[in-house]
Structure 1
Amino acid sequence: MQINPGRTNHLETFKSMQKNSEPLKNVNSRILIGAPPTKKKLLTIGISSVQHPQRSYLLDTLQSLFFPSSPSELKHIIVLVHLADPDPKWLDQMVSNISSLFKPYIQARQLVVINTPLKNYLPLKDPKKKFNDTPAYIAFRSKQNMDYAFLMNFATNHSDYFLMIEDGVKCAPGFVTQIATILSAWEYKPYVTLEFSELGFTGKLFRTRDLPRFVHFLLLFYQQMPCDYLLSHFLDLLMKKKPIQFFPSLFQYMDNYSSSDGKFSSLNNKELEENDIDYPSNPAASIYTSLQVANGSVVMNAYSLDENFFYTKEAKAGSHLTVVLNIPAKVIQVQVLTGSDQKGENQLKEGQVELGYDTSNRYNDCDDYILLGFLVNGVLNKQVLSEESGKKVKCVRLLVTAPAPSGIVVRHINLWIK
C-alpha cells in the first residue's frame, strides 16, 4: 500500500517527527466564542465547518448533539467547533447564530468556537491529480485536512478522548453514554482509533495523547488524499490494519449530505442497504403503543406478515409503538416500513428504532434500550451487527422523535431471529 512512490522516505520523515510530538506551537487558532473548561473532561467532540453552497447543517448538528443529551452527559464533554471559512460575513453570522441558540452551553463552558487565520495554512505545491479529482476538489480536501489538523491541535489538552464528527450529521440520542460505556471497557486495551460510524471521518475517536502524531501526519500528507484515506494509511504505518468498529452507528448524514466531499450524495451506512435474509420470522409477540389509533385500525397489523397495516391519526414526539416478544430472541435484522405508497405519503419522517433488553422482568416493556438506527425516508432496514446481537432482545421500539403533521401508516415491522 502506497501513499506515493516515496513512501519509504515519508515513513522515515514521519518517524523523526514523532520524536517531537507536542502540539504545533506556531498555529495561532483563536477563540471566537466561549472558554475551555477549567477541569479536564472525558471527551472533546470536534466539528470543523465551512460554507456550503446549499445550506449549513452545523446548527442542526449542534442541536442534535446538545438538546437530547442529559445534564449528566453534558458535564463530561466539551464541544469544539472550528469555523474554518475565511469569509468574515459568514463568520459573523455563524458566531451570532451559535451565540443566541446555544447560550446556556457556552456559559457552562461546554461549547467553544475557534477560527484559524489563513496565514497559518500551508500552500498547495504542485498538486497532483489522484482518483480523477478536479483541481478544485484537490484544493478543497487539502484545506480540509489542515482544518482538521488545527482543530485537533487545539483539542489536545482539554479532555482524555477526542471524537471527530462532521457538520452535517445527526447524533443519536444517548450517544455520549454509549461511547462512555465503551471507553470504560476499552480503557486499558491497545488501539489507535475506535470507530462509531462508517461515514467519512465522522465518529472516529482518539485518545488525546495520540492526537499530536496524527496532526503531524495530516500536515505532512495534507494534499495527497482525503482525511479518511489518510487515517487508513496512518493506521497501516502503526501496524493497526483492522478497524475497531462498533454498531449500530451513532451518527447519520442529514439529507444525504457529506461534508467529507463537500457535496450531496446518496452515501449512507452500508448497514441500511436492502439485504434481507430470507423471509422474516416475526416470533409471537404483544404490541403496545402510545400513538392515537385511527378508527377501525388494529395495532397488531403493524407486526403481521400479510398486507394489512396500522394507521394512526397523529404522532407526537416521544410516542412509540413497541413490539414485546413473548420469548426473548437473538434478533439479527430489523425492518420497519412506514408510508402508504412510494410517493412518501403518511411516512414517519422523524423516527428511530431501538432494541430493548429486560433485566427486571417487566411485563410490557424493557428497562434498557439501545439505538439501532434512524428512519431514512420512512424506512429502516438494518442488520444487528454489534456485540449486542449476541444478547437476547425482548423489545423492538419504534420511537417518534418529532411531531408528524399528518397520519402515519406503519406497514410492517419485520424481525429476523437466529
Structure 2
Amino acid sequence: MVTDEEAAVGPSHRRHGTMRDALCMLLSAAAALFSVFYFIQENPFDTTSFLSLEEKELVAWQRARMQVNPGRTRHLQTFKVMQKNSEPLENVNSYILIGAPPRKKKLLTIGISSGRHPEGSNLVDTLQSLFSASSSSERKHFTVLVHLAGSDPKWLVQMMYNLSTMFQPHIQARELVVITTPLTSYLPLKDLKVTFEDPPGHVAVRSKQNMDYAFLMNFATQHSDYFLMVEDDVKCAPRFVTHIATAVSAWANRPWLTLAFSPLGLTGKLFRTGDLPSLVHFLLLFYRELPWHCLLAHFQDLTRHTPVEFLPSLFQHVGNSSSFKEEDTGSPSNPAASIHTSLKAANDSVPSHAYSLNETFFYTQAAEPGSHLTVVLDVPAHVSRVQVLTGSDLRGWNQLEEGQVELGCDATNRVSDCDDYTLLGLVVNGILNKQVLSPTLSGKKVKCVRLLVTAAAPSGIVVRHIHLWTN
C-alpha cells in the first residue's frame, strides 16, 4: 500500500530513497547484463603512437593474439537507452569556465574535482605536477579537466583568476579545461544513509562528492578514449602518461573495468570513457547510500571485475617526502620449492639460481615462445606478492622483453606442474612486481609460479630473481 507521504513525493523519489536492500536487488538483477556489457572493447585511438620501439614491441604480442567479440557490442545500445532515460541526468548542466575542449578526441582525460577546503587548496600544486611530469609529446595526448565543485561565487572567481593566470599556455593549447556545475543540477541532500558511524555533516559532504565525481565523469565521456581520476592533492611520477599508455596498450584487448596506478583512494584509477555513463548512472542512483570508494567497489562486484593493479604507484599525496618507490613489504619468503624449465642453461648457471635469495642468477642463451621457468612449491601457500627481475644491468641488457607471469593451482597432485593457471600480469621492461589480489585465485593456494616467454628472444636472458611473499 502506498502511503500519503510516498504518494506526495512521487514514484521516482521513492525509488531513489529505498533502503540498502534496493541496492542489493539492483546488483542482483543487473549482474548478468553488466557482466556481459563490460567485455565491450572500444579503443579507436592508437595508444602506441608515442611509445618507443621497445614499448611497442612489448605489447604487440597481446594485440595480435587477443581479439574482441563484436557480437557483444549489442549491449552498448541497451545501456545508451538506459542512460538517455536516466532521470538523474536530465537536469545536469555543467558548463565551461576556462578553456575549450580538444578539437579531436585524445587518448586520455585527467579528471580532478576540487572544492573549497578550510585549510587551503593544493589544486595549483597538483596541476603544476601533472604538466611538469609530462613531456611536450605526452601533453599532446591528454587533457586535464578540472571540476570546481563549489557554490561560493567569490571562491569561483578567485580560482578562475588563479588558474587563468598560472596556466595560460596550457589553456591556450587546450590542455586544461575548467568546468563547474550549478546547484540546480544537484539532487537533494536529504534522507541520507548514515554508515560507518559518520556524523551527519560528513555524510552530506560525501554524498555531494559522489555527485561532484559523477558530473565530472559525465562531462568527460566525449573527449577521450580513457579517463583517469586524480585527487586535488597529489604529485606525479615523471612520464606517468607513458607508463599508463604502455599498460593500456598491453591490456587493450582484455576485459577490465579499472586499471589502478595508485593505492590512494580515487587517485590513479583509470576507466574507459565508454564505461563512464553506466558508472555515472550508478553513482547518481545511490549517491546517498555509501562513500564513493564503496560504491565503486559495489559496481566492480556487479560487473565481476577486479581492479588491475600496477606497481609502483605513479602518484602520491602532496607533502609526502618519500620518492616514487614501492612501499616496503619486507623481505621475500621464497618457501621450499623445486624449479622446472624448458630453457637451456648456459655459463654454468642452474635454474634454482633464479629462486635463491642471494645474488646468483639463471642465464639462457635462447628462448622460444612457450618456454618457461616454473617454481613448484613443496607445500601450496597463499602468495601475496610476486616479483620477477630479469636483465643483467640497469641498461636493460638480457631482459625478457615479452613474457608474462602466471599462478597455478593443482587438483591432481602433479609433481612438476599445475593443471590450472591464471594470468597475474605482463613482464614490463624486464620486471613484474605485483600484488596478488584475493579474488584472483578465488581463495585457492598457489602451487606454481610460471614465468612464460611469449615471443622469441633476440639475445640471451638473465633471470635474476623470482621472489615470493607468502602469508
User: TM-score under structure 1 normalisation?
Assistant: 0.63
Equivalence for 2:281: 216
The 8 Å contact of residues 248 and 386 in structure 1, kept in 2 or not, is answered as no
Q: Which has the larger radius of gyration?
A: 2
1:64 pairs with 2:129? yes
How far 1:255 moved relative to its partner?
Answer: 2.6
How far 1:389 moved relative to its partner?
Answer: 8.3
Q: C-alpha offsets along residues 254-296 of structure 1, whole Å, 9 cap, x if unaligned?
A: 1369xxxxxxxxxx99953563458xxxxxxxxxxxxxxxxxx
1:37 pairs with 2:53? no
How far 1:183 moved relative to its partner?
Answer: 1.0
How far 1:197 moved relative to its partner?
Answer: 1.1
Q: C-alpha offsets along residues 127-182 of structure 1, whole Å, 9 cap, x if unaligned?
A: 22110111011001000000000000000000011111100111111000000111
1:391 pairs with 2:430? yes
Q: 1:223 to 1:53 in 2, by over 3 A?
A: same
User: What is the 5 A alignment of 1:72-111?
Assistant: 72-111=137-176
1:5 pairs with 2:21? yes
**Residue aligned with 1:47, SS:** strand
Distance in 1 separating the partners of 2:310 and 2:228: 14
User: What is the 5 A alignment of 1:54-203?
Assistant: 54-203=119-268
Unmatched runs of 5 consecutive residues or more in structure 2: 1-18, 35-77, 334-358, 364-385, 399-423, 433-463
Distance in 1 separating the partners of 2:428 and 2:132: 29
Q: Aligned letter for 1:5?
A: D
1:272 pairs with 2:334? no
Distance in 2 separating the partners of 1:75 and 1:230: 33
Q: C-alpha offsets along residues 328-348 of structure 1, whole Å, 9 cap, x if unaligned?
A: 99x9599xxxxxxxxxxxxxx
User: What is the 5 A alignment of 1:235-250?
Assistant: 235-240=300-305, 242-250=306-314
The 8 Å contact of residues 332 and 416 in structure 1, kept in 2 or not, is answered as yes
Q: C-alpha offsets along residues 296-322 of structure 1, whole Å, 9 cap, x if unaligned?
A: xxxxxxxxxxxxxxxxxxxxxxxxxxx
Equivalence for 1:358: 395
- Indicate which of 224, 241, 251 corresponds to 2:315: 251
How far 1:357 moved relative to its partner?
Answer: 3.9
Equivalence for 1:349: none
How far 1:48 moved relative to its partner?
Answer: 0.2
Where is the strand percentage greater, Structure 1 or Structure 2?
Answer: 1
How far 1:387 moved relative to its partner?
Answer: 5.1
The 8 Å contact of residues 149 and 218 in structure 1, kept in 2 or not, is answered as yes
Q: 1:95 to 1:273 in 2, by over 3 A?
A: same
Q: 1:170 to 1:356 in 2, by over 3 A?
A: farther
Q: C-alpha offsets along residues 202-254 of structure 1, whole Å, 9 cap, x if unaligned?
A: 111111111000000000110111111111100111122x2211111111111
Q: 1:38 to 1:146 in 2, by over 3 A?
A: same
The 8 Å contact of residues 246 and 386 in structure 1, kept in 2 or not, is answered as no
How far 1:21 moved relative to its partner?
Answer: 2.5
Distance in 1 separating the partners of 2:220 and 2:431: 39
- Indicate which of 31, 50, 55 corresponds to 2:115: 50
Unmatched runs of 5 consecutive residues or more in structure 1: 258-267, 279-324, 335-354, 362-384, 394-414
How far 1:68 moved relative to its partner?
Answer: 2.5
Alignment coverage as a number of residue pairs = 298
Aligned-residue sequence identity (percent) comes to: 56
The 8 Å contact of residues 196 and 204 in structure 1, kept in 2 or not, is answered as yes
Q: CA RMSD in A?
A: 3.8
User: TM-score under structure 2 normalisation?
Assistant: 0.56
Q: C-alpha offsets along residues 318-376 of structure 1, whole Å, 9 cap, x if unaligned?
A: xxxxxxx99899x9599xxxxxxxxxxxxxxxxxxxx9842469xxxxxxxxxxxxxxx
The 8 Å contact of residues 277 and 416 in structure 1, kept in 2 or not, is answered as no
Q: 1:253 to 1:386 in 2, by over 3 A?
A: farther
